[in-house]
Structure 1
């Protein structure tokens, strides 16, 4: 089980956990003094913590070993995902974190069903990041993707263009296009270890959005003939792209 620290630590240093992390250790995992677990630091180190004090509101431990965390993913895939209904989007966050998405940008599109109220956005984004962190902790990932503030599709395209990174746009209507075969598209892209993936919400992108994305430089891509739920498509797309970029360098 991993926790993520917001600061680096040294061997024999004391570490204090409060709030949600203390609750997670004491009441969810039921850790006791003498138990050991690992944390990951911003520098990418993996520290073994031995608990010394466990109370209702705080947990304290000591760093007993320090080493390198598992290697980072060989490729960086940023996911631009159409905002879904609550449970669907939370599932998307969990599973794309598990397979290795590096960043997640929620998209507001023509087919977006639920648009969060602006006043509630900061709290909502904070919740999304906690969901991603919990998913990363569960699968012992050395990194956790940042979930950014939602942005309109056109704004997201401008942001992507500024990154100077190849990008793919996935849409069911492209499934019969030979040029949209994912392996073929990635094979023709040239050498890169960074990629942006655009996935629409329920109902996909509108024809106008698809054309706008293509005009902006996104490459058309398909996951085949099966009709996938949006959250499933996001997970499959990220996993396949990471595999191709990591295992089939060109």
Structure 2
């Protein structure tokens, strides 16, 4: 059985961990938040294995020595490199928690960056200190569930004009922005060709690149927004004949991109 993974903050006040000085055979105390989840909620005990990650590539395999004190022995320490080809999801706010469903599944698939978008047609509104906390907690939970070493970066929410700026920067840096829209004429096979070309350039010059997928709200992306993004250099694409929900469209696109980039065998 695969060990459960728990995210931790190395600078936590209750149990700070010097991540650059860890070695196999060492004993460390679990931070209180991890201890509560692993021992009180999941009922792990002495002799049970678990994994720890700081969400920035560090991965620690450990075995519980003393459940009461939260003491664990380190079995191995490793680090996963950050992907050179990054996947970003620009997700419009959606009612009924569909946006949170989208970023939850996107995290499980392997998205690297999540950008909330206050679309002109979004019924839900962004509330600083509340919405961002809920989205971050969703990313954390999905990262642990999927046992990832990298926690997706949650960026500030953006407006239409800021997405235009993202598209313009993508043109300069060799990145790619894909807008999912039911009335687009470009097919996914054309997108895959562009992604293959981009991956080849990335391999040649070893410079990180980002593929961003823009997903609209329940009512779809407006014609004005589509024109703004397309004029700024984004590629508009239709996934297929079926119309997908806001919680599903980005997930399907990211799954296809992961396969194209070789993340999935």
- TM bucket by the smaller chain? 0.7 to 0.9
Query: Is the 1:75–1:246 contact (alpha carbons within 8 Å) kept by the matching residues of 2?
Result: no
Q: Give 2:147's aligned residue.
A: 140
Pick aligned residue for 1:162 from 169, 182, 200: 169
Give the drift of 1:88.
Answer: 1.2
Matched, 1:61 2:68: no
Q: CA 1:188/1:42 → structure 2, altered by over 3 Å: closer, same or farther?
A: closer
Query: Is the 2:7–2:34 contact (alpha carbons within 8 Å) kept by the matching residues of 1?
Result: no
Q: Give 1:240's aligned residue.
A: 256
Query: Is the 1:125–1:148 contact (alpha carbons within 8 Å) kept by the matching residues of 2?
Result: no
Pick aligned residue for 1:106 from 107, 112, 116: 116
Structure 1: segments with no counterpart, 5+ residues: none
Deviations 1:122-144, CA, capped at 9 Å, x for gaps: 34313312211211211222322
Pick aligned residue for 1:87 from 97, 105, 118: 97
Q: Give 2:241's aligned residue.
A: 225
Q: CA 1:102/1:138 → structure 2, altered by over 3 Å: closer, same or farther?
A: same
Deviations 1:23-51, CA, capped at 9 Å, x for gaps: 21122211112221112346634321122
Query: Is the 2:167–2:233 contact (alpha carbons within 8 Å) kept by the matching residues of 1?
Result: no
CA distance in 2, matches of 1:157, 1:215: 9
CA distance in 1, matches of 2:54, 2:25: 15
Alignment RMSD:
2.4
TM (norm. structure 1) is 0.85
Q: Give 2:187's aligned residue.
A: 181
Structure 2: segments with no counterpart, 5+ residues: 11-18, 200-208
TM (norm. structure 2) is 0.80
CA distance in 1, matches of 2:160, 2:34: 35
Q: CA 1:151/1:68 → structure 2, altered by over 3 Å: closer, same or farther?
A: closer
